[in-house]
Structure formats: C-alpha cells, structure tokens
A and B are shown apart, each in its own frame.
Chain A
Amino acid sequence: MRKPFVETLENAAEQNPDIFLITGDLGFGVLEPFARRFPRQFLNAGIAEQSMTALAAGLAREGRVVFTYSIANFSALRPLEFVRNDICGHQANVKIVGLGGGFSYGALGFSHHATEDLAVMSALPGMTVIAPGDDYEARELTRLLAAHSGPAYLRLDCPSAPACARTEVALGRASQLRDGRDVTLVATGAILSECWTASELLSDRGIECRVLSMHTLAPIDRAAIRGAAEQTGGIITVEEHSSKGGLGTAAAEVIADEDLRPQSFLRLGIRNPAECVSGCQDFLRRRHGLDSASIAGRVENLLRTTGRARERAL
C-alpha cells in the first residue's frame, strides 16, 4: 500500500503546499518521486523517531499538515510519549504512517511485527486510527486524511493486498463489501482479503456472510456493529494484530456499551505476538489461524455451536 499512499500524497501535495512528508530514513524505491517533485515539502529526519515526531508537531503548530513515515513500531511505538504529549496533547495536525501492519515483515522477526500498534494508537486521546483493507482504501483514506484536521495514525500493509470490491470510502464508516445474514465478518487492515476469500468459501457451503472493512478503528463505526448484531447471526472480528486492544476489543466495547445481544461473537487475532518465529506473511497468518481456510472453519464451528445451543433452548 506504500505506492498508492505516496501517489495520493503527491496529488495532495500539489494542491496544498502545506502538506509535508517526513521520513525516518526509510522509503528506498518508494519516496524518491515525492522527494524530487516536492523538495520543500519533504524531509529525511534521520534515524531519530523521537525528534522526528516532536518536530512534526512543531511544524504542524506553524500550519503544516505533516505525515511522519516509518515502519510501524518505529513511527508509532518508539516515540510513543512524543506522540501522546506533543501530537495528541496539542491536537497537532500530524498523521503518523506505520508501515508493515501485522506480519507484513514476517521474516524480519519480532522487532518488525506490528502487532500492538492499533491498540496503543487507539488508546490515545483524539487519535483517528486507520487501517485500509486494500490499495483502493489506502488511496481513498490517504486523500481523506490529507484534508482531515488533527492527529491520525495510518497503518499500511506492505505487500499490496488483492482488491476485494468497490464501495465508497468515508472516514469513520465501515465499508460493506458484501451482504449476508448468517454472520458478519469484520476486518481491519489487509487481512480483509482473507475474510473476503473466507466468505467465498463459506458461500459455496451455503453460509452467507456480511463482510465489513472497519478501516477506521477509532472512532469505530458503532452503527455498523449494531447492524451486524441485530441483522445477522453473529459477529466475528478478524485482525492481524494482538487479540488485546484492537478491533475485537473495540467491537466488544460497543456491544457492552450499547447492550447489544449478538447471537454469537468471536474475536480472531494474534494470541501470542511475542512468539519468536520467522516466516512469510502467509505462513504466519496460517500459524495464527488468520488465513481464509481457518477463518471459514471457525465460522462453521461457531454457527454449529450456536445453532445447537439455540436448538437446546427451544
């Protein structure tokens, strides 16, 4: 999703001279066109994420719309207190771009697995948290963020995920990719493609899923969760992220806050992110049960269990 992001930002930078991109010394083969076209709107802050984050806040205070760019753990977690105090504390117009959501950099090891970024960023005051489901959403959401005011975090998955379906994209509103009544699959980030494939597998087996891309994790689309709880046979959240604090947690909060009664509710995520295992993204998704076949299997099991429970209740 890096290319759609940078290309969209180039368009935004052309129209708005206040758009400013700062990299923490990353982006080989990706950022050069932007840097060449907009030398006065581009900066390499060096391998210094704390200072990058604070100076982004200072630039934003002087009217710039700043995007900071690095691998997710480096742009979001390394300078966390700078994000909190300088960006959120001043509601600075800074968009933090975190590359490589989940296991995008699987083979590079634990340091490069972005498995807590969404939870941590979502906990910060006033932070809009975005994880596009595919290149199309990455493009649309980048365009919307360039015009948005205030702090935001944009998680970009590294390998471009296959595009699923076309819907209109709006900040804070889940995109519905297909409708079905048996169950709702809610995804955040590029794991959306696994959910899409799972919904195809399930359709072949007679189970019709609603598929939602919850690309805006904070503020979450409460109406979409309510709709899924009331109109379909249950909610399954899927995220390439720790099962603590991300999409599943946010959905559970909505369910609790609004006293919703979904017929079933299941959170699929990474249970043990600290496991030190190398592997490509597909391998690690399978290992953590986040591939399309595993998701489809979990849906079938869940519907079988809740179906039996309902029969017992009758």
Chain B
Amino acid sequence: MSAGVLPAVGADREIAVFAREIRRRALRMTSRARSSHIGSAFSCADILAVLYGGLLRVRPQEPGWSGRDRFILSKGHAASALYAALSRRGFFPSEALEAYSGDGSIFCGHASSAVPGVDWSTGSLGHGLPVACGMALAAQLDHRDHRVVALLSDGELDEGSNWEAILFAGHHRLDRLTVIVDCNGLQSLAATEETLRLEPLAAKWQGFGWWVAECDGHDHASLRSVLETARHQSGKPSCILARTVKGRGVDFMENSVLWHYRSAQGAELDSAMTQLE
C-alpha cells in the first residue's frame, strides 16, 4: 500500500469516528422506528465511512453536481447507514434523521432518492448493479471521469439480474464501475453458503472479466487502499469482496440473522450504545 494514493481527507482516526457515528445514528434511527436491518447497516458502516469520509467525490451543498461520483446502495435495506453517512458528510443536518421511517417522511426504510445525496432508490435486490452499468456506460460514452460505485450484499448475488449485469460490464469493459460486495456470509434466513453456494466468489467475477480484490471490510486503511487501486484500473470493471461481519460493532448482534429483523430497545439499546462509544 502506497501512502501517496490515499486521499487528503479522511485520516484513519477521522474515518473511525465517521464509522462510529454512522453506527450510532443508524442504531438510534432503527430503534426509534422499531425497524429492521440494523445488522445489515453495521455490516457496511465501515465501507460507507471510507466512501463518504473522503473517497467519493461529492459536493454536499450541490447533491446533483454532474461531476460527482455516483453511488448506489443496492442493498437498500441498509438505508439507515446511508442516511447516517450522508448527514455526517453534511448533505443535511443530523436532526433530519429523526423522521426516519416516520409518517410522511422522505427517509423511507429502503434507500430513497428523494433524500439529498441518494442517487438511486432501491429496496428490491438485484437492481443497483444493472442501473450502475447504465450510468457507467454513459460516462464511458461521454469520456467523463467520475466513478460509479454500487454496494451489494452477498445474498443479493442470488438474483439473476446481477449476473446479466456482471456479464454486461465485463463485456463492455466498464472501467468506471466499481462494485463492493458486503460479504458477511449471511442472508435473510441462513448462511449464504448453505442457501446458494457463492464461493469461490472471486473466481466467478474474474471469469466474467472483472478485476477483483478482497479485503477486510472493517479495516479502513485496507478498504481505502483497495478502492484507490480499483479507481485506477483501466479496461475492466472492478469488484471488491469486502469480508465483513453482520452486526459488526455490538457483540450480541454480530453474526446473527436475528438482527436482520430485531430492533434494539431498553437495556439492549443502552448496551449497544455503550459499546459504540
């Protein structure tokens, strides 16, 4: 890893604070709303911290800036973490998050592009990557240098539409496209390997013509380094298999499908908040 490629913003300590803030805000949101998917939000909190802590080129005061890097949260059920990251990055004040999942709120339980900074509405799995392919193709045709980043879950790879898009991006050498797979090894009911075996996953993406790297999806320096390398790939789309732990950050939530559904209340909420200090 060369220090020279790291962005100026987002020193490791700052990113750690960013990630902790994402988790704390997402936890408050889902607990207040008694909504699901906090485990999924924690799983990708570090990835979002690295992206919004400096790596993505965005302008919080100008969310629709045409030169921005596009980001699609294909695992739209982790919207609480995305909204938290956007508020932390300055797209809107953190108080706005109190409306999350509330009556009449734009902060829907699945990612909504009505929220400033959200490029695409998601919620149904298998949509984010093919949409990102369209955006990356437009950038390629127009010789523009912004990137299109899509964050997918591992269970989401069961959806056939992803494999249509993986074939497409490889064929068209969409090198402005980066996919990050949040590989926490779990899906809705059970382990991914028990449900529909994905491994060897890196070999599958490579076989479709992608540049592939694996990293610890909670190690900020490693994530940053691999994302920077991906940014400079030419002639191939890039895929990062971020090995993560579902529920990461709160011991009783880690590696459990229960926290795909349950929201923390009372003593559980207190304990979780304490662990995230």
A82 to chain B: closest residue by CB? B127
Rounded to whole Å, the gap between the CB of B238 and the closest CB of chain A is 18
The B interface, classified by DSSP as helix, strand, loop or mixed, is helix
A79 to chain B: closest residue by CB? B161
Q: Which of B115-167 contact A (CB under 8 A)?
A: 119-124, 126-127, 130-139, 141-142, 160-161, 164-165, 167
One of A40, A46, A60 near B168 (C-beta < 8 A): A46
A222, CB-defined interface residue at 8 Å: no
Verify A55–B167 contact, CB threshold 8 A: no
A107, CB-defined interface residue at 8 Å: no
One of B119, B122, B127, B138 near A59 (C-beta < 8 A): B138
Residues in A whose Cβ lies below 8 Å from that of B134 = 54-62
Rounded to whole Å, the gap between the CB of B6 and the closest CB of chain A is 29
What range describes how many residues of A lie at the interface? 20 to 34
B225, CB-defined interface residue at 8 Å: no
Known: A50-B164, A62-B138, A90-B113. A55 touches B121 (CB 8 A): no
How many contacts A-B (CB < 8 Å)? 80
Q: Mark A136-180, 1 if CB is under 8 A from B, else 0.
A: 000000000000000000000000000000000000000000000
Rounded to whole Å, the gap between the CB of B116 and the closest CB of chain A is 15
Verify A50–B135 contact, CB threshold 8 A: no
Verify A89–B132 contact, CB threshold 8 A: no
Q: Mark A68-98, 1 if CB is under 8 A from B, else 0.
A: 0000000000000110011001100000000
Known: A50-B164, A51-B164. A86 touches B127 (CB 8 A): yes
Residues in B whose Cβ lies below 8 Å from that of A51 = 130, 133, 161, 164-165, 168
Interface CB pairs A-B, < 8 A, 6: A43-B137, A50-B130, A54-B127, A55-B133, A62-B134, A62-B138
Shortest beta-carbon contacts, A-B, top 9: A58-B134, A55-B134, A54-B130, A62-B138, A51-B164, A48-B164, A50-B161, A51-B130, A58-B131
Chain A positions near chain B (C-beta within 8 angstroms): 40, 43, 45-46, 48, 50-51, 53-64, 81-82, 85-86, 89-90
Known: A50-B126, A61-B131. 10 other contacts (CB 8 A): A50-B130, A54-B134, A55-B130, A55-B131, A55-B134, A55-B137, A58-B135, A59-B135, A59-B138, A62-B139
